[in-house]
Chain A
Amino acid sequence: MSAISELKVGTLTLDLLSRTASRSGRRIELLNKEFQLLEYFLRHAGQVITRTMLIEAIWDYSFNPGTNVIDVHISRLRSKIDGPAEPSMISTVRGAGYRLDAV
């Protein structure tokens, strides 16, 4: 990977060394897989990411493990990074996947 130690899209910041995340200064507690998921989104900000891409990159599975597994993970991640009054950063691209944008 690259030598950078911090990923930043809009108000969302990911510290790759301390493996912590924050949005607008608010600290976000993430589980290991959630951190990897968010890191992947930040590295591909603005691009459409398919479920297959996530399954392969984060879980290293070459098959779809279950009907809506990824959707559930994304919705959890969303609820963690989006504060009550904040707009959602990860949007669903219907029929394709997801996209993270600096809102």
Chain B
Amino acid sequence: MRSEREHLRSSATWRGALWITLIALVTTSVALTVQYVQTTRLIEERSRALVNDEVAALAARYRAEGLGGVVRAIQREGDVSGINEFFYLLATPDGQPLVGNLLEWPASVASPGFHSFDAEVAATSGSPRERSVEARAFLLPGGLRLLVGNISDENAILRERYLAALLWSLLATSAVGLMLGFWYSRRGLAFLDAASDAGERFLQGRLDDRLPVSGRGDEYDRLAQTINRNFEEVERLVGSLRAATDGLAHDLKTPLTRIRARLDLAELEGAQGQALHNVILESREDLDSILQLIEDVLGLARAEATVADSFSAVELHDLVAEAVELFDPVAQERGIELSCRLEPATLMGSRTLLARMVTNLIDNAIKYSSPESRVAVSLESSPGVILLSVADSGPGIPEDMRAEALRRFSRLDASRTRPGSGIGLSIVAAVARVHRAELTLSDNNPGSKVDVIFGSAAPQKD
């Protein structure tokens, strides 16, 4: 499986590299060819224009001075070492050369017009050489043939150079393209490889596995971060589900075991009258606590499933004031001073969930405070930030247990003797998460302090 993936990966890498190379090759070829065609056309046009001028000049001289004038002109041109490398041939109607630096009338030139051919040309110095020429044949009045041409060796040289340049360019492009393409494709594929490996390990149960983030801040990083956030969310959900299942089982088992024992005992003793009535009452209380637990679990599930779409403007100060009013008698009964200091604050949220959060926080603070202590609720509002604090002077939460305290069903006292399902802070955490608020537990010296910070990320009322 590993070697097959390795094979797939390298073939995909090469495929990517080849595509990149192919594109580079086509681009290079097209660019060079266009340039070559343009250049040769320009040279040919210029050369033909020069030949035409020369032919017109000789034809004019023939009309003015007759054959002798033309012959003299051709001889004069032949004696000067040519700047324009022209050659001339004046021949009889049957092709016998009369004058000129071309040694014989070329067989391939049978009609007037432009012709390209190779011919022996008499040079101004040394022996005749085979040159490639571009020439125009012209019929003078009286049947004499005139051939005026231009040495076109440079066209052939240009073609050779073009082909050489094309070959070298293509070779260089191929080499560089393959190298860069291989490197580029491998980078992308290496990321995909890492992503599939991490996903594979995640599926096999290593929920803490994450994709590497290079820090370059490119698209790969963005994808890696998104995938990592998904992994984190799955890990968190699985973790809380596991804790919830364990805690729920434990919390259900205790009252159910009590009911069972009570019923067994009542049957054994043949309980009647008041004794039986007590069994019923006590069992009903246990059943109530079970129902309350189930309601809390459902409340937590609802809180976690709430989406921001259902939010409306909530006057948080009113909501907190009501909750404080609700708990004031409870606090007084326990000899706890419940104080509150509220600044007006409005935010977009779920009224029910926020009320649940606030009442949970106050309930917890009162529940875990020792008598004759204080619980302080405060609401501070500044632009973009709303801070809700509930501070108590109870036993506090040890720093290393604070994260655990936010998890479901952890009640901090291992004995689990106090009332309540201990699901409270988990509901608070879920409500905070839904409202994109930050939840922190800190020391109140003595006691603990819960801060809920609704940041600017939390949608404010218009």
Contact = CB atoms under 8 A, between A and B. Distances in A.
B293 to A, nearest CB: 11
Q: Do most interface residues of chain B lie in helix, strand or loop, or is the interface mixed? A: helix
B327 A59 contact: no
B333 A64 contact: no
Given A69-B330, A76-B329, A61 B367 contact: no
B323 A65 contact: yes
Interface of B: 281, 284-285, 288, 292, 295, 299, 322-323, 325-327, 329-330, 333, 352, 355-356, 359-360, 362-363, 366-367, 419-420
A68 B366 CA distance: 12
A66 B67 CA distance: 130
Nearest to B331: A72
Contacts of B288: 95
B292 A64 contact: yes
Given A72-B333, A76-B329, 9 more contacts: A63-B295, A65-B323, A65-B355, A66-B326, A67-B420, A69-B326, A69-B363, A94-B281, A94-B284
A33 B325 contact: yes
Interface string A15-27: 0000000000000
Interface string A41-81: 00000000000000000010111111111001100100000
Contacts of A68: 330
A67 B366 CA distance: 11
A64 B329 contact: no
Summarize A's interface: helix, strand, loop or mixed.
loop
A28 B427 CA distance: 39
Nearest to B427: A63
Contacts of A33: 325-326
Contacts of B356: 61, 63, 65
B326 A67 contact: no
A33 B326 CA distance: 9
B325 to A, nearest CB: 6
A69 B355 CA distance: 15
Nearest to B325: A33
24 contacts: A33-B326, A59-B322, A59-B326, A61-B352, A61-B356, A61-B359, A63-B295, A63-B299, A63-B356, A64-B292, A64-B295, A65-B355, A65-B356, A66-B327, A66-B330, A66-B359, A67-B363, A67-B420, A69-B363, A72-B329, A73-B329, A95-B284, A95-B285, A95-B288
B377 to A, nearest CB: 14
B352 A62 contact: yes
Given A61-B355, A72-B329, A67 B419 contact: yes
Query: A33, A61, A65, A68 — which one has the most chain B CB atoms within 10 A of its CB?
Result: A65
Contacts of B355: 61, 65
Contacts of A65: 323, 326-327, 355-356, 359-360, 363
Nearest to B359: A65
Please name the 4 residue pairs, one residue from A and one from B, whose CB atoms are nearest each other, closest first: A65-B359, A66-B363, A95-B284, A72-B329
Interface residues of A, number: 16
A63 to B, nearest CB: 6
Contact of A72 (B323, B330, B360, B362): B330
B281 A67 contact: no
Contacts of B330: 66, 68-69, 72
Interface in A65-103: 65-69, 72-73, 76, 94-95
Contacts of A59: 322, 326
Contacts of B292: 64
A103 to B, nearest CB: 24
A62 B356 CA distance: 9
A95 B108 CA distance: 124
A61 B355 CA distance: 8
A94 B285 CA distance: 9
A67 B326 CA distance: 12
Contacts of A66: 326-327, 330, 359, 362-363, 366-367
Interface centre among B330, B352, B356, B420 (most CB of A within 10 A): B330
Contact of A95 (B281, B325, B352, B360): B281
Contacts of B322: 59
A61 to B, nearest CB: 6
Contacts of A95: 281, 284-285, 288
A39 B420 CA distance: 30
A59 to B, nearest CB: 6
Nearest to A33: B325
A67 to B, nearest CB: 5
B192 to A, nearest CB: 47
B329 to A, nearest CB: 5
A62 to B, nearest CB: 6
Nearest to B280: A95
Contacts of B281: 94-95
A68 B329 CA distance: 11
A94 B282 CA distance: 10
A72 B326 CA distance: 10
Contacts of A94: 281, 284
Contacts of B299: 63
Contacts of A76: 329
A81 to B, nearest CB: 15
